Amino acid sequence: MYAKKMVKQSLPLIIFCGLGAIVAGSTLSLMAELFYKIPGIIVVIPAIIAMRGNISTALGSRLGSAYHLGIIDSDDLWNDELKQNILGSLVLSFCVSIIIGILAYVTSLFLGVAPDALMLISIVVIAGVISGLILTLLTIVIIYLVFKRGYDPDNITGPALATFGDIITMACIFGSALLIEVIL
């Protein structure tokens, strides 16, 4: 019986996630010209997408566990536990974005395609922080809706956040690269 329920809850989402991966890939293809202008961006993409997916899905798992344990509930959503999880997620996003930007710059130097260091690090930090804010809010909404509907968050939050994370992060990288290109 559990397998039937899991398939019912997960299958539509998994199909949606496949379509989301196509959208993320299409966003990547839109960035082709930026790769020539700011070649270090190609080095950043796998790392920042992995970062966003790891931080967001970990947040989703922690919030799901907190809901199951009764620490967070839909009637008292904005308690200290949720606030601490949000703060931790955002601080982690900022710190890891800086590290990824620096490592991407160093890697680009070794590959001989290094852009301006400030430009690359700024792109990563802006994209990481903005996508972190968006995905943190989205995580809260997903957890809230999943519990309101009586679904198991383990079937929903991981795939949903990974897919939304890819799409949102690609859009944020693209947007921050365009912004920084104009500013610098």
The pLDDT averaged over each successive group of 10 residues in the chain (184 residues) is 74 82 82 86 90 90 86 81 93 96 93 87 95 94 87 84 90 94 86
Q: What is the pLDDT of residue 84?
A: 94
Domain CATH number, residue 70: 1.10.357.20
Could you give the number of structural domains in the chain? 1
Domain that holds residue 154: 47-183
How far apart, in Å, do the first and last CA atoms of the chain sit? 58
13 within a domain of the structure (yes/no): no
Indicate the pTM of the whole model.
0.88
CA 15 to the chain's CA centroid: 19
| Token reading at 103 | 């490592």
Cβ neighbourhood burial of 78 (10 Å; 0-12, 13-18, 19+): exposed
- Whether residue 86 is contained in a domain is answered as yes
* 59: in domain: yes
Residue reference for tokens 């559990």 = 2
What pLDDT sits at residue 168? 94
* Distance separating alpha carbons of residues 122 and 140, to the nearest angstrom: 27
CA distances from 48 to 63, 121, 122, 140 (A): 22, 12, 13, 21
In a domain, 172, yes or no: yes
Q: Report the pLDDT value the prediction gives residue 171, as an integer from 0 to 100.
A: 93
Residue 26 included in any domain: no
Q: What are phi and psi of 76, to 5 degrees?
A: -125, 65
Q: Identify whether 42 is part of a domain.
A: no
Residue 54 placed within a domain? yes
Q: Does 25 map to a domain? A: no
